[in-house]
Structure 1
Amino acid sequence: MSHSYCSNLLFALRLCYPHLGNSSCRRIMYSHSVSVLLHIILSSISVLTVTLNLLVIISISHFKKLHTPTNFLLLSLAVSDFSVGFVIVFLIFLIDGCWFLGADWCVFYVALSLVSTAASVGTVVLISVDRYVAVCDPMHYQTKVTANRAKICIVLCWLCSTVFHTVMLKDNIEHPGGFDSCAGGCTIYLPPLAGVIDLIFSFIIPISVIVILYVRVFMVAVSQARAMRSHVTAVTLQSSQKVNRSELKAARALGVVVVVFLIFLTPSFIVTLLAGFAAMSVSTFFAVLCLYYFNSLLNPVIYAFMYPWFRKCVKCVLSLQILKSGSSEANILEHLLTCFF
């Protein structure tokens, strides 16, 4: 009798909704220490991701001197990373494989994840194009890349991402929870064709464009560096113009962002692709998902190391100097003082 009771109790503990019996989804059982560690790690990543990217958003939005095409692209990337910070909150609820927030929130969680991911990929492509024009065609950069054009491209990037994934999730939006095989699940149905299209337009094409453009930028940067070492004052490139040193420095800084982005993005798409040919464990999906989301935390950290203006902005935001009258007009790029008042 005692053995039967223990077996039933153990079975109940493995269910998301014990009172529903076999109609309930099963939990992923972790040891207490592993469960606590996962919650601490994901919670920390979520809080830091939201906080650091919020600092980027406030800095670029507030200081008018930072309203450049390149910084608008960084702002878009920060918004997508900021959204990922909230996605991680939802991911915490799925650590044990049980979803208790309802079908509507499940669809919202997946939609926010897909839209923000696609928008970040699109923004990185735009950053690559921006650096390509700045380094490889510097004479026409000011006319080709303007603040208004950057804004239009960013809006189109987010709009296309939202529309495409709304269409892709159409069945789930119309019938939330309709594809769950058990209570406590968060199952999303994606048409096979939509998955292929998403792979092509969210990974294969963008990654190809990013790699091709940055290889070209790297080649020009190397040529410029050699010329500087040789004390050559004018270097003939494809554009027949000398590349501005600040543009090269920005290209290197953003190059770090792009490389880190590719390193963290690629595994998730590889696993997604392989899932169509072989069964993948939940832990594998969970691991690559966390790896990709961790990239959203790294971006503002990279800015802190690469951009003195960002460090200065953070000091001014945290010290509440931005609340002073006229602070938005301050020349944050000049002299890089501790603060502007």
Structure 2
Amino acid sequence: MRNFIVSIIAIILGLIAGGILMLLIGSNPIDGYLYLFQGALKNISRIGDTLATATPLVFTGLSVAFAFRTGLFNIGASGQMLIGGLCATAVGLTYDFSRPILLLMMIFAGLLGGALWALLPGLLKAKFNVHEVVSTIMMNWIAYWTVYYIVPGYFKGEFLETESKKLPDAATLKVPFLTEMFQGSYINLGIFIAVIAVIIVAFIINKTTLGFELKAVGFNRHAAEYAGMHVNRNIILSMLISGGLAGLAGVALYAGNASTIQIGILPSAGYDGIAVSLLGANTPVGVFFAAILFGILYSGTGFMNAMTEIPPELANTIIAIIIYFAATSILIERVIKRFWKTRSSKEVVVPDVKKGES
């Protein structure tokens, strides 16, 4: 409950700061936010696009949050996304099975690709105590150049060398009933997979021995080792699961929101996952709703810019401010505690002492 209150306060403060910025550039903040939220939620089609935009962020947020639980900072979600998306695209362009089997194969390939890409940083951390921030950043750029080489070499598009062939309809997460329900939106099955992932991760963290051990390692590695827990194994397993979740984000992005994979682009959703995890207090449910908020801000930016003179970069600024306040949650908690302490002291009633009584 405390984390929820802190996140809400961070969002409110971020929106207030964004409104002040709008005033400074001579725009009306009420109109700005009105058009921003209309752009994301005005009709069923825009709602579908917002959910689709948020879907990869759910996976990358879960990825970062899961690693955080073991005291690890997985900053390599972008590279794991790329490899997961590349593996899923390769399966979709290579095989011609029935759609359910093909989609399951693509999802598994994306999950496995992302997990294996996170394996090396996990091993380096467990065996040699190499800091995961350094190793995962390097793996991001290895993934970048791997995709840069493989896509034009083996899956080159018909018209552009900078992107892969277009996935056939049977190899995408788009389904007619969702497209029709959301009036042409690019929402796809990825949102359902994301909800399932949230439930599974929440169950693992809160209801299993593995989740307890992962949290114990995150709180105090040496104490967990002294208690007989396999610290190195848990570190590697945590990175595998974290990478697999990021790989699913690649499947959702390249086989759901899009139908091709482009070279020369390191997906920003991987880094946005850090912000989503932080705002969601590293909890699966919190991550889901934080991703939805980010989806609203990103989806509504274009409409806000079209209807006003407010630059689209303002949405990124608002997100940055929200994350800043979320990162300084300790200060917000202190303010809340001081407020409640002051209020409680004022409510203390001192009984009257009657004079003359013994």
Instruction: Tell me if both proteins adopt one fold, taking TM over 0.5 as the criterion.
Output: no
TM-score by length of 2: 0.30
Between the two structures, name the one with larger relative contact order (CA 8 Å, sep ≥ 6). 2
